[in-house]
Structure 1
Amino acid sequence: MQALLAREKPLSPWRVVALQAGVGGLLVLAWWLFGSAPAQQVRSTVWGAVAVVLPHAVMAWGLRRPAAQAQAAFLSFLVWELIKVGLAVVILVAAAWLVRDLSWPALLVALIACLKVHLGAWWWLSRAVQRTN
Protein backbone atom coordinates (compact mmCIF):
# COMPACT_ATOMS: atom_id res chain seq x y z
CA MET A 1 0.00 0.00 0.00
CA GLN A 2 2.82 2.38 0.84
CA ALA A 3 4.46 1.69 -2.52
CA LEU A 4 1.20 2.48 -4.31
CA LEU A 5 0.75 5.69 -2.32
CA ALA A 6 4.34 6.70 -3.04
CA ARG A 7 3.87 6.04 -6.77
CA GLU A 8 0.55 7.86 -7.15
CA LYS A 9 0.41 11.59 -6.52
CA PRO A 10 -2.76 12.51 -4.64
CA LEU A 11 -5.01 15.10 -6.24
CA SER A 12 -4.88 18.26 -4.20
CA PRO A 13 -8.30 19.73 -3.39
CA TRP A 14 -6.77 23.13 -4.15
CA ARG A 15 -6.08 22.01 -7.73
CA VAL A 16 -9.73 21.08 -8.08
CA VAL A 17 -10.78 24.47 -6.67
CA ALA A 18 -8.40 26.21 -9.09
CA LEU A 19 -9.79 24.20 -12.01
CA GLN A 20 -13.34 25.11 -10.97
CA ALA A 21 -12.37 28.78 -10.87
CA GLY A 22 -10.73 28.41 -14.28
CA VAL A 23 -13.87 26.89 -15.76
CA GLY A 24 -15.91 29.73 -14.26
CA GLY A 25 -13.48 32.25 -15.76
CA LEU A 26 -13.75 30.66 -19.20
CA LEU A 27 -17.54 30.81 -19.00
CA VAL A 28 -17.40 34.48 -17.99
CA LEU A 29 -15.22 35.16 -21.03
CA ALA A 30 -17.56 33.19 -23.31
CA TRP A 31 -20.68 35.04 -22.10
CA TRP A 32 -18.86 38.39 -22.37
CA LEU A 33 -17.79 37.69 -25.95
CA PHE A 34 -20.83 35.83 -27.29
CA GLY A 35 -23.73 36.55 -24.93
CA SER A 36 -26.90 38.33 -26.02
CA ALA A 37 -26.90 40.41 -22.82
CA PRO A 38 -23.25 40.22 -21.74
CA ALA A 39 -23.40 42.29 -18.55
CA GLN A 40 -26.36 40.36 -17.17
CA GLN A 41 -24.96 36.98 -18.20
CA VAL A 42 -21.46 37.67 -16.90
CA ARG A 43 -22.82 38.81 -13.53
CA SER A 44 -24.97 35.69 -13.29
CA THR A 45 -22.11 33.43 -14.33
CA VAL A 46 -19.89 34.89 -11.61
CA TRP A 47 -22.56 34.17 -9.00
CA GLY A 48 -22.93 30.60 -10.29
CA ALA A 49 -19.20 29.97 -10.22
CA VAL A 50 -18.80 31.53 -6.77
CA ALA A 51 -21.62 29.29 -5.47
CA VAL A 52 -19.36 26.32 -6.28
CA VAL A 53 -15.81 27.61 -5.89
CA LEU A 54 -16.13 29.43 -2.55
CA PRO A 55 -17.83 26.54 -0.66
CA HIS A 56 -15.31 24.05 -2.05
CA ALA A 57 -12.42 26.30 -1.02
CA VAL A 58 -13.88 26.58 2.49
CA MET A 59 -14.20 22.78 2.68
CA ALA A 60 -10.64 22.25 1.39
CA TRP A 61 -9.38 24.67 4.02
CA GLY A 62 -11.39 22.91 6.74
CA LEU A 63 -10.10 19.46 5.82
CA ARG A 64 -6.45 20.47 5.51
CA ARG A 65 -5.30 18.60 8.66
CA PRO A 66 -5.44 14.81 8.79
CA ALA A 67 -7.44 13.28 11.63
CA ALA A 68 -5.89 10.79 14.04
CA GLN A 69 -8.77 8.30 13.81
CA ALA A 70 -11.11 7.20 11.05
CA GLN A 71 -14.22 8.22 13.01
CA ALA A 72 -12.88 11.72 13.55
CA ALA A 73 -11.99 12.03 9.87
CA PHE A 74 -15.49 10.92 8.86
CA LEU A 75 -17.18 13.32 11.28
CA SER A 76 -14.96 16.18 10.14
CA PHE A 77 -15.80 15.42 6.52
CA LEU A 78 -19.54 15.40 7.28
CA VAL A 79 -19.38 18.68 9.18
CA TRP A 80 -17.43 20.43 6.41
CA GLU A 81 -19.72 18.95 3.75
CA LEU A 82 -22.71 20.39 5.62
CA ILE A 83 -20.99 23.77 5.82
CA LYS A 84 -20.19 23.59 2.10
CA VAL A 85 -23.76 22.82 1.08
CA GLY A 86 -25.17 25.45 3.42
CA LEU A 87 -22.81 28.11 2.08
CA ALA A 88 -23.74 27.20 -1.52
CA VAL A 89 -27.44 27.54 -0.71
CA VAL A 90 -26.85 30.91 0.99
CA ILE A 91 -24.93 32.18 -2.06
CA LEU A 92 -27.66 31.04 -4.47
CA VAL A 93 -30.41 32.61 -2.36
CA ALA A 94 -28.37 35.82 -2.13
CA ALA A 95 -28.00 35.83 -5.92
CA ALA A 96 -31.74 35.47 -6.38
CA TRP A 97 -32.42 38.35 -3.97
CA LEU A 98 -29.57 40.72 -4.78
CA VAL A 99 -28.99 40.42 -8.52
CA ARG A 100 -31.47 42.38 -10.54
CA ASP A 101 -32.22 40.79 -13.94
CA LEU A 102 -30.46 37.54 -13.04
CA SER A 103 -29.87 35.25 -16.03
CA TRP A 104 -30.83 31.84 -14.69
CA PRO A 105 -29.45 29.95 -17.72
CA ALA A 106 -26.04 31.60 -17.31
CA LEU A 107 -26.03 30.95 -13.55
CA LEU A 108 -27.04 27.30 -13.97
CA VAL A 109 -24.53 26.66 -16.76
CA ALA A 110 -21.74 28.03 -14.56
CA LEU A 111 -22.98 26.08 -11.54
CA ILE A 112 -23.17 22.77 -13.41
CA ALA A 113 -19.92 23.24 -15.34
CA CYS A 114 -17.96 24.07 -12.18
CA LEU A 115 -19.49 21.09 -10.37
CA LYS A 116 -18.52 18.75 -13.22
CA VAL A 117 -14.83 19.47 -12.58
CA HIS A 118 -15.10 16.89 -9.78
CA LEU A 119 -16.19 14.22 -12.26
CA GLY A 120 -13.25 15.04 -14.49
CA ALA A 121 -10.86 14.73 -11.57
CA TRP A 122 -12.47 11.46 -10.48
CA TRP A 123 -12.22 10.07 -14.02
CA TRP A 124 -8.57 11.13 -14.26
CA LEU A 125 -7.72 9.43 -10.95
CA SER A 126 -9.56 6.22 -11.82
CA ARG A 127 -7.79 6.11 -15.19
CA ALA A 128 -4.41 6.48 -13.46
CA VAL A 129 -5.24 3.66 -11.02
CA GLN A 130 -6.35 1.35 -13.86
CA ARG A 131 -3.06 1.99 -15.67
CA THR A 132 -1.05 0.78 -12.67
CA ASN A 133 -3.05 -2.44 -12.16
Structure 2
Amino acid sequence: MTTSTLENQMNPEVDVEDSDFKPLSAQEAQQLRETHPEPSPWWVIVAQVVAGLLVAGIAWVWTGRPVAGASALYGALAVAIPAALFVRGLVRGTKAGSQTGAPAAAMLRFAVWEMTKLVLTVAFLAAAPWVVGGLSWLALLAGVVAAMKMYWVALVVRPKLLNRI
Protein backbone atom coordinates (compact mmCIF):
# COMPACT_ATOMS: atom_id res chain seq x y z
CA MET A 1 0.00 0.00 0.00
CA THR A 2 1.37 3.40 -0.93
CA THR A 3 1.63 6.26 1.51
CA SER A 4 -1.02 8.36 -0.32
CA THR A 5 -3.48 5.43 -0.30
CA LEU A 6 -2.95 4.97 3.42
CA GLU A 7 -3.45 8.70 4.02
CA ASN A 8 -6.69 8.65 1.96
CA GLN A 9 -8.05 5.77 4.02
CA MET A 10 -7.27 7.54 7.27
CA ASN A 11 -8.52 10.93 6.08
CA PRO A 12 -11.86 10.54 4.22
CA GLU A 13 -11.90 14.22 3.24
CA VAL A 14 -9.09 13.69 0.74
CA ASP A 15 -10.28 12.63 -2.71
CA VAL A 16 -9.10 9.18 -3.72
CA GLU A 17 -8.84 10.15 -7.38
CA ASP A 18 -7.79 13.39 -8.94
CA SER A 19 -10.73 14.79 -10.85
CA ASP A 20 -10.58 15.67 -14.54
CA PHE A 21 -13.35 18.17 -13.95
CA LYS A 22 -12.75 21.52 -15.64
CA PRO A 23 -15.33 24.22 -14.96
CA LEU A 24 -16.75 26.00 -17.97
CA SER A 25 -16.18 29.67 -18.52
CA ALA A 26 -19.23 31.92 -18.72
CA GLN A 27 -18.90 32.06 -22.50
CA GLU A 28 -18.59 28.26 -22.82
CA ALA A 29 -21.63 27.74 -20.56
CA GLN A 30 -23.68 30.21 -22.62
CA GLN A 31 -22.64 28.47 -25.84
CA LEU A 32 -23.63 25.09 -24.36
CA ARG A 33 -27.05 26.46 -23.36
CA GLU A 34 -27.62 27.85 -26.85
CA THR A 35 -26.63 24.65 -28.66
CA HIS A 36 -28.57 22.38 -26.27
CA PRO A 37 -31.64 24.21 -24.98
CA GLU A 38 -33.61 22.67 -22.14
CA PRO A 39 -36.73 20.91 -23.42
CA SER A 40 -40.04 22.51 -22.55
CA PRO A 41 -42.24 20.79 -19.94
CA TRP A 42 -45.27 21.75 -22.03
CA TRP A 43 -44.73 18.84 -24.42
CA VAL A 44 -45.79 16.47 -21.62
CA ILE A 45 -49.09 18.35 -21.30
CA VAL A 46 -49.60 18.20 -25.06
CA ALA A 47 -48.81 14.47 -24.97
CA GLN A 48 -51.43 14.00 -22.23
CA VAL A 49 -54.10 15.73 -24.32
CA VAL A 50 -53.13 13.76 -27.45
CA ALA A 51 -53.23 10.49 -25.47
CA GLY A 52 -56.66 11.50 -24.16
CA LEU A 53 -57.92 12.20 -27.68
CA LEU A 54 -56.56 8.86 -28.88
CA VAL A 55 -58.15 6.92 -26.01
CA ALA A 56 -61.41 8.84 -26.49
CA GLY A 57 -61.49 7.91 -30.17
CA ILE A 58 -60.76 4.27 -29.38
CA ALA A 59 -63.44 4.18 -26.65
CA TRP A 60 -66.02 5.76 -28.94
CA VAL A 61 -65.29 3.38 -31.83
CA TRP A 62 -65.02 0.30 -29.59
CA THR A 63 -68.27 0.87 -27.70
CA GLY A 64 -70.15 2.75 -30.41
CA ARG A 65 -71.21 5.27 -27.75
CA PRO A 66 -70.06 8.89 -27.95
CA VAL A 67 -70.39 9.19 -24.16
CA ALA A 68 -67.56 6.67 -23.74
CA GLY A 69 -65.31 8.92 -25.81
CA ALA A 70 -66.39 11.96 -23.82
CA SER A 71 -65.72 10.11 -20.57
CA ALA A 72 -62.22 9.10 -21.67
CA LEU A 73 -61.40 12.61 -22.82
CA TYR A 74 -62.72 14.07 -19.58
CA GLY A 75 -60.50 11.65 -17.63
CA ALA A 76 -57.41 12.73 -19.56
CA LEU A 77 -58.30 16.41 -19.16
CA ALA A 78 -58.77 15.85 -15.41
CA VAL A 79 -55.05 15.08 -15.37
CA ALA A 80 -53.80 17.46 -18.07
CA ILE A 81 -55.49 20.70 -16.95
CA PRO A 82 -54.15 20.60 -13.36
CA ALA A 83 -50.74 19.57 -14.73
CA ALA A 84 -50.78 22.59 -17.05
CA LEU A 85 -51.59 24.82 -14.10
CA PHE A 86 -48.70 23.21 -12.18
CA VAL A 87 -46.23 23.87 -15.02
CA ARG A 88 -47.51 27.42 -15.44
CA GLY A 89 -47.08 28.11 -11.73
CA LEU A 90 -43.55 26.76 -11.61
CA VAL A 91 -42.39 28.41 -14.84
CA ARG A 92 -43.94 31.71 -13.84
CA GLY A 93 -42.25 31.55 -10.43
CA THR A 94 -38.78 31.00 -11.89
CA LYS A 95 -39.14 33.75 -14.48
CA ALA A 96 -40.18 36.25 -11.82
CA GLY A 97 -36.62 36.26 -10.51
CA SER A 98 -37.21 33.89 -7.62
CA GLN A 99 -34.68 31.42 -9.02
CA THR A 100 -32.02 33.34 -7.11
CA GLY A 101 -34.03 32.86 -3.90
CA ALA A 102 -33.51 30.30 -1.23
CA PRO A 103 -33.78 26.64 -2.21
CA ALA A 104 -36.33 26.20 0.58
CA ALA A 105 -38.62 28.74 -1.10
CA ALA A 106 -38.33 26.89 -4.41
CA MET A 107 -39.17 23.59 -2.71
CA LEU A 108 -42.15 25.16 -0.97
CA ARG A 109 -43.40 26.58 -4.27
CA PHE A 110 -43.05 23.14 -5.88
CA ALA A 111 -44.92 21.47 -3.00
CA VAL A 112 -47.75 24.02 -3.09
CA TRP A 113 -48.24 23.65 -6.85
CA GLU A 114 -48.05 19.85 -6.62
CA MET A 115 -50.70 19.83 -3.88
CA THR A 116 -52.84 22.18 -5.97
CA LYS A 117 -52.50 19.81 -8.93
CA LEU A 118 -53.55 16.81 -6.84
CA VAL A 119 -56.54 18.57 -5.27
CA LEU A 120 -57.75 19.84 -8.65
CA THR A 121 -57.42 16.38 -10.21
CA VAL A 122 -59.49 14.84 -7.41
CA ALA A 123 -62.05 17.65 -7.77
CA PHE A 124 -62.32 17.07 -11.53
CA LEU A 125 -62.85 13.35 -10.97
CA ALA A 126 -65.40 13.93 -8.22
CA ALA A 127 -67.36 16.26 -10.50
CA ALA A 128 -67.29 13.81 -13.43
CA PRO A 129 -70.80 12.34 -12.91
CA TRP A 130 -72.35 15.80 -13.06
CA VAL A 131 -70.24 17.09 -15.95
CA VAL A 132 -70.51 14.05 -18.25
CA GLY A 133 -74.06 12.71 -18.45
CA GLY A 134 -74.18 8.91 -18.63
CA LEU A 135 -70.55 8.70 -17.55
CA SER A 136 -68.62 5.55 -18.43
CA TRP A 137 -66.34 4.98 -15.44
CA LEU A 138 -64.18 2.48 -17.30
CA ALA A 139 -63.56 4.92 -20.15
CA LEU A 140 -62.87 7.70 -17.64
CA LEU A 141 -60.31 5.50 -15.93
CA ALA A 142 -58.71 4.65 -19.29
CA GLY A 143 -58.34 8.37 -20.04
CA VAL A 144 -56.81 9.06 -16.63
CA VAL A 145 -54.35 6.17 -16.97
CA ALA A 146 -53.34 7.16 -20.51
CA ALA A 147 -52.67 10.75 -19.42
CA MET A 148 -50.76 9.66 -16.31
CA LYS A 149 -48.55 7.35 -18.38
CA MET A 150 -47.23 10.35 -20.29
CA TYR A 151 -45.07 11.16 -17.24
CA TRP A 152 -43.38 7.79 -17.73
CA VAL A 153 -42.97 8.50 -21.43
CA ALA A 154 -41.26 11.76 -20.45
CA LEU A 155 -38.86 9.85 -18.20
CA VAL A 156 -38.00 7.47 -21.04
CA VAL A 157 -37.62 10.20 -23.68
CA ARG A 158 -35.68 12.64 -21.48
CA PRO A 159 -32.55 10.46 -21.10
CA LYS A 160 -32.50 9.98 -24.88
CA LEU A 161 -32.48 13.76 -25.28
CA LEU A 162 -29.65 14.04 -22.75
CA ASN A 163 -27.59 11.36 -24.50
CA ARG A 164 -27.44 13.55 -27.62
CA ILE A 165 -25.60 16.23 -25.62
Whether TM exceeds 0.5 here: the answer is yes
Match for 1:59 among 73, 79, 86?
86
Report how many aligned residue pairs link the two structures.
131
C-alpha RMSD of matched pairs (Å): 2.1
Structure with max Cα Rg:
2
1:23 shift after superposition: 1.0
Matched, 1:39 2:66: yes
1:92 shift after superposition: 0.2
Can you list the C-alpha shifts for 1:12-56, whole angstroms capped at 9, x where unaligned?
121111111111111222223x22242220121121011111100
Matched, 1:69 2:102: yes
Amino acid across the alignment from 2:51 = V
1:86 shift after superposition: 0.2
1:93 shift after superposition: 0.2
Matched, 1:121 2:154: yes
Normalized against structure 1, the TM-score is what?
0.85
- Pick 1 or 2: higher relative contact order, CA cutoff 8 A, min separation 6: 1
Partner SS for 1:116: helix
CA separation of 1:5/1:55 partners in 2, compared to 1, >3 Å: closer, same or farther?
farther
Report matched runs for 1:4-15 at 5 Å.
Answer: 6=33, 8-15=36-43
For structure 2, the residue ranges without an aligned partner over 5 or more in a row are: 1-23
Partner SS for 1:101: coil
Matched, 1:106 2:106: no
For structure 1, the residue ranges without an aligned partner over 5 or more in a row are: none
Tell me how far apart the structure 1 counterparts of residues 81 and 143 of structure 2 sit (CA, whole Å).
13
Match for 2:75 among 48, 57, 65?
48
CA separation of 1:98/1:18 partners in 2, compared to 1, >3 Å: closer, same or farther?
closer
Normalized against structure 2, the TM-score is what?
0.70
Partner of 2:47: 19
